[in-house]
Structure 1
């Protein structure tokens, strides 16, 4: 069994599996960048996932949801999902849509006239 990037069918299957911490924002494990690889050999799928934190309280739920989604695909007889501990998840793994959905601060901007900028902000205008 060789491991590699996830095939398109697996990406589609996991696009409806949500990171529990981001479910209300509609961010899947794929968009969150948690999927590392999917390999299939003789009907057995092996999925590697990263976690955003080693302390993720929902890891068991994510593993179960991923196993069920992949296991339901045609040609898959069994599935195992493993957490990758030797690679750290970083925000640059997120899709553009996930990054936008989780953006808490506006993009930085250059401010030519500090006083005018602050005045607009205090009046409720956008910079």
Structure 2
């Protein structure tokens, strides 16, 4: 995973996928920011989406662009969703992984009733 410049991580730490805003998990912690590069005052940001059907994608892209364009040395930012890499839970920060719970693939749960009973406690 490419390193995201510290200034970009800080700038985007207040941008949230609406599904994670109430938990305080930013797009950076979600692992949605794949790369940020700046050359000649122009920034290029690559984002992954958790789902290609995300109804809030346009809103997130706009907010990321605005936050990057507010940074010193950046005159213009281009934000692009990339499709050559799939977002997975491995991209979550340790904090985000602790806060979010994901079910394992069904094939990995031989006794589904027992699994659900343990998780609901």
Name the TM-score, length of structure 2 as normaliser: 0.81
Deviation of 1:5 (Å): 2.8
Deviations along 1:17-36, one digit per CA (max 9) or x if unpaired, are 11111000000000000000
Partner residue of 1:102?
100
| 2:14 maps to 1:36 | no
Q: How far apart, CA to CA, are the structure 2 residues paired with 1:99 and 1:26?
A: 12
- SS of residue paired to 1:46: strand
Bigger fraction of residues in helix? 2
Q: How far apart, CA to CA, are the structure 2 residues paired with 1:86 and 1:104?
A: 23
Distance 1:67 1:99, change over 3 A: same
Q: How far apart, CA to CA, are the structure 1 residues paired with 2:3 and 2:102?
A: 30
User: Number of residues paired by the alignment?
Assistant: 104
1:24-103 matches, cutoff 5 A = 24-103=22-101
Q: How far apart, CA to CA, are the structure 2 residues paired with 1:16 and 1:102?
A: 18
Deviation of 1:100 (Å): 1.1
User: Could you list the runs of 4 or more consecutive aligned residues of structure 1 that deviate by over 6 angstroms after TM superposition?
Assistant: none
1:5-16 matches, cutoff 5 A = 5-16=3-14
Name the TM-score, length of structure 1 as normaliser: 0.78
* Aligned-residue RMSD, C-alpha: 1.5
Q: How far apart, CA to CA, are the structure 1 residues paired with 2:61 and 2:55?
A: 12
Partner residue of 2:115?
none
> Greater CA radius of gyration, 1 or 2?
1
